[in-house]
Structures are given as C-alpha cells and as structure tokens.
Amino acid sequence: MNEYISETIKAVKVKNAGEPEFLQAVTEVLTSLDPVIKANPQYKKNAILERMVEPERVIMFRVPWVDDKGFVRVNRGYRIQMNSAIGPYKGGLRFDPTVNLSVLKFLAFEQVFKNSLTTLPMGGGKGGSDFNPKQSPHTPGKRCSDAEVMRFCQSFMNELYRHIGPDTDVPAGDMNVGGREIGYLFGQYKKLANEWTGVLTGKALSFGGSLIRPEATGYGDVYFAENMLAMRGETFEGKKCVISGSGNVASFAAEKLLQLGAKVLTLSDRSGAIYCESGITEKMLKDIMFLKNVKRGELAEFAKKTKAVKFFANANSWQLADKIDAAFPCARQNELDANDAKYLLDHGCTLVGEGANMPSTPEAIAAFIKAKIMYSPGKASNAGGVATSGLEMSQNSERLSWTREEVDAKLKGIMKSIHDNAWEAAAKYGHKGNYAMGANIAGFVKVADAMVAQGVC
Ligand code: NDP
C-alpha cells in the first residue's frame, strides 16, 4: 500500500482510538484509493487525506426534555459537519441508543463520498442523538409517546438551529427519524429562525416534501442492482431475494423488487426474521408497513397472524433460505459477517446490494470481491435517498413540486449515473467490476479536486 495512505491510517488510529466504526470506514475507503493517490501527487502535496479524515466541525450538545410523568431527561445531541467542499453539509439524523461519536463520524465520512457520487452539489454531514424513541424512559416495554418525541425534537432543535440552514447544512432522516420527527424538527426550526426554508428534507408533502422521497433509498438500491444485472444481460424476473430490516429502506426495496417480478423471501427487525418460502406478497408487505410505521409493532406479531410465514426469533435474514440469488442488507452497520457471506455464496447468491450504511463487515466484503459477484457498497447503492433529498432542496428553492413520475425518472437517471461512474472509475484504475473501489475513487476525486482548487481551508 502507498506509504502516504498507510501513514494517514496510522495517524487516524492514534488520534481516534476508541472509535471502531470510524476507523473501519476510513480504512475501507483509504486502502481502495491506492492507484488514484499514486497517479495524483497533488493530493499528498495538499494533505487531502489528512483533511478529509478530520471533520470540519463537530457539534455536541445537551438535550434536556420533560417526559409525560414530569421527569426531566437528558440526552446528548450531535452534528458532524464533515466536508463542505462541493456543497452545503447534507446527511441524516439518527435517534438510537447506539449513537455515539464513532458511529456518526463513520456515517458523516461515508456521506461525503456518497453525496459526491450523486452528481448533485452536496457536502457531507450526519447527526443525531442517543435518544431512544422506541423505549419510554418511565414504562418498560412501551415506546415514547408522540408528545415525548415532540418535546425531545423541539429541545434538540433549540440548539441545532444555530448550526444549520438551507445554504449551510440541510439534515434529513435516518434510523428512527421519519416523517413525524422531521415535522416536529421543522416546526421548531421555523419558529426559532422565523423563516420558511427547505432546511430539512424528508418533509411531508403538505409543507415542501418531495414525492418519492420516502421510497427513494429502497427504490434506488434496487435501480442500482438492476443496472448491475443489465451488465450481465439479466433482470430481476423470478430472482429469489433476501432482505434485512423492515424499516424505510427495506420495505421500499421489497416493494420495488416485487414490482420487478422478484421473489422476496425474508425481512427482519430487532425481534427476529421472517421467512416466506412462497414469497412475501404485496398484501403482506402493505400489512408489514402498516404494522411498522403506524402501529409501530414488531415482525413477531405479524408472524403470529400469518400462516405462510415462519418466524426466527433474534435471527437475521441471511441463513434462512436454501436458494438465494440476491441479498439486500437494509438494516444497520456490520449486520452481515464472514459466515453470512459464506452462506450466501454457497447458496447461489450472485448479487449483494447494500441499502444500509456499511452493513457488510470487511471480511464479508473481501469474500464478495474474491468471488467476483455483483457487490455494491452502500455509499453508491443507497445514495438514492440523499439524491432525492437534493431534488427536494431544488423544488423548495424554486417553490415548485415535481410529479411522482418526474422525480422517479430523475432518481433512475441518477442511480444509472452513479452505477456508470463507479464502473468506469474501477475500470480506469485496473479493477474492472469492483464497484466498491470504483465508488470510493469516483466519490473521492470530485471532492479532492474541489479541495485542491479552494486552497488550504
Ligand atoms: P429504519 O429505522 O426505518 O429501519 C431500520 C431497520 O433495521 C428496522 O427494521 C430495525 O428494526 C432494524 N434494526 C435496527 N437495529 C437493529 C438491530 N440492532 N438488530 C436487528 N435489527 C435492527 O431505518 P432506515 O430504513 O431509514 O435505515 C436503515 C439503514 O439504511 C441505516 O443504515 C441507514 O443509515 C441507511 N440509510 C437510510 C436512508 C434513508 O433514506 N432512510 C438513506 C441512506 C442510508 P426495528 O423496526 O425493530 O427497530
């Protein structure tokens, strides 16, 4: 490996000890940049790698709020403003007890390359809190009430609003931050800033949201995979697919796969995984979406009422089916390890399309690349969400709303561009078919060139 790269990784490890997810993401990206760093000495001269691994700004703050019983609760809020070379910071907010500096720095770092790949002018950021909307602080087994979630979101925004704006930083949703939370956050921002701007994306249609935004990450993941299949003259018709998660990304990936004639065999959540040998139907998927999004329940409940489905408590989706053509990890980071990868490869899987961020461990990725299957890294194949957020920003600036068909056509076009750019970058640097390398290189070069042009800042 190039010495500049290995020295940078070493320094990052020393400076960021105790941040395993961030170190994993940095190592994965930097080690794949070898040929591009060798061919472009200006990047070393301008300390581009050292600057890219250092966030432009890290904001950490106290989030006090009052629960339904009148007790004061305190959470920690974050916003990582990672890189603004090619546009305002852009990236989601995650509310989950697993949120910490390491997780958010890894997500913000990945976001820089992802946003660059979308072809839209967006920098990279990420934020969130260790707040857990799925667990009430006073009643075990119960979720936070809507009023508690609202009071938390308002307090979170009381600090965040100072650091964001339509031309500065435009947050969106991520895990546990959906339409309800974005609505509360937007309402509080509008009150504090006394202005109506497209400062958050993922808004409801009645106040500036974009059609297809909820569907965009899952649909985009499948569009990317369609492009990979097309390179081999294949389609999704009849393909057996396994999906993890049953949230936003997973459910819309499943919906698109069904529309394309694929068979969806599995979905999962924190309670376990469901397996349906005959294939999850559109009706079942609608019921699951209602259960997860409206009733806010668990797949275990769904399985109890549905004969065609088997439930595996605390299991993931990877090792349930005997024959698998394609896998879509759409839940969380490091959810698919070397054992799972081996199972998938042994059972016929020739395509892995990551919907989540960094869902495959480094060992699993190595196995996919060695086997030369179609493997797309999350930063490329889940970029449809942020790309459509970019389209929402454009519509807000122009005070216009595009039709569903218009947004879907633009999303498809963007996913094809991302696919083609990743393919071409990999081929140009001698690694034809390696989308992981191609996505890292294509995403990196655009940001690096902008940083060189903007001087040392
Ligand atoms: P959601 O919160 O809507 O769904 C997450 C899903 O993952 C849920 O089914 C959840 O189960 C499951 N899950 C989470 N943690 C665990 C765990 N520890 N064990 C088992 N299952 C778990 O999130 P999204 O669908 O929005 O996001 C999923 C992934 O996609 C994340 O990596 C996110 O960063 C990434 N992503 C999302 C984008 C978006 O537009 N939403 C854009 C780009 C990337 P349960 O329902 O039980 O909580």
Query: For ligand 1, is residue 243 a contact (CB within 6 Å)?
Result: no
pLDDT tens digits along 433-446: 999 999 999 999 99
- Give the pLDDT band (50/70/90) at residue 169: very high
Q: Ligand 1 centre and the CA of 332: distance in Å?
A: 6
Residue nearest to atom 11 of ligand 1 (CA): 269
Given its phi and psi angles, is residue 395 left (phi above 0), alpha (psi -120 to 50 degrees) or beta? Answer: alpha
Spot the catalytic one: 44, 90, 105, 126: 126
- pLDDT at 349 > cutoff 90: yes
Question: Is residue 297 scored above 90 in pLDDT?
Answer: yes
Distance 85 CA to ligand 1 centre (A): 28
The pTM score is 0.94
* Confidence at residue 1, expressed as pLDDT on a 0 to 100 scale: 84
Backbone phi and psi for residue 326, each to the nearest 5 degrees, phi listed first: -145, 145
Task: For 25-86, give the secondary structure using H, E and C.
Answer: HHHHHHHCCHHHHHHCHHHHHCCHHHHHCCCCEEEEEEEEEECCCCCEEEEEEEEEEEECCC
- pLDDT tens digit string along 186-210? 999 999 999 999 999 999 999 999 9
What is the average pLDDT across 223-234? Answer: 98
What integer pLDDT is reported at residue 107 of this predicted model?
Answer: 98
What's the rounded Cα separation, in Å, for the pair 273 and 320?
9
Whether the CB-CB separation of 378 and 358 falls below 8 Å is answered with yes
Task: Judge if the beta carbon of residue 385 lies within 6 A of ligand 1.
Answer: yes
What are the tens digits of pLDDT across the range 374-421? 999 999 999 999 999 999 999 999 999 999 999 999 999 999 999 999
**Does residue 77 line the site of ligand 1, with CB under 6 A?**
no
Q: What is the mean pLDDT of residues 126-151?
A: 97
pLDDT on residue 320? 98
pLDDT in tens, 69-118: 999 999 999 999 999 999 999 999 999 999 999 999 999 999 999 999 99
Atom of ligand 1 nearest to the CA of 245: 9
Q: Identify the three-state secondary structure at position 264.
A: strand
The CATH fold of domain 55-194: Rossmann fold (3.40.50)
Q: Is 173 in the pocket of ligand 1 (CB under 6 A)?
A: yes
Assess whether the C-beta atom of 176 lies below 6 angstroms from ligand 1: yes
Give me the phi and psi of 313, to 5 degrees please: -60, 140
The answer as to CATH 3.40.50.720 being correct for domain 214-372 is: yes
Nearest residue (by CA) to ligand 1, atom 44, is 356
At residue 431, the pLDDT reads 96
The span from the CA of 195 to the CA of 34, in Å, is 46
CA pseudo-torsion sign 332, 337, 340, 345:
positive
**410 labelled catalytic:** no
- pLDDT beyond 90 at 164: yes
Residue 355 C-alpha to ligand 1 middle, in angstroms?
9
Mutate to test the pocket of ligand 1, among 134, 249, 294, 391 (most ligand atoms within 8 A of CB): 249
CA of 40 to the centre of ligand 1 (A): 37
Q: Do domains 55-194 and 214-372 have the same CATH topology?
A: yes
Q: Where do runs of H (alpha helix) occur along 138-293? A: 146-160, 179-193, 213-231, 248-259, 282-293
* Residue that is written with structure tokens 């010495």 in the block: 3
Domain boundaries, the chain: 1-52+434-457, 55-194, 214-372
Write down the mean pLDDT value for the chain: 97
Mean pLDDT of 19-46: 97
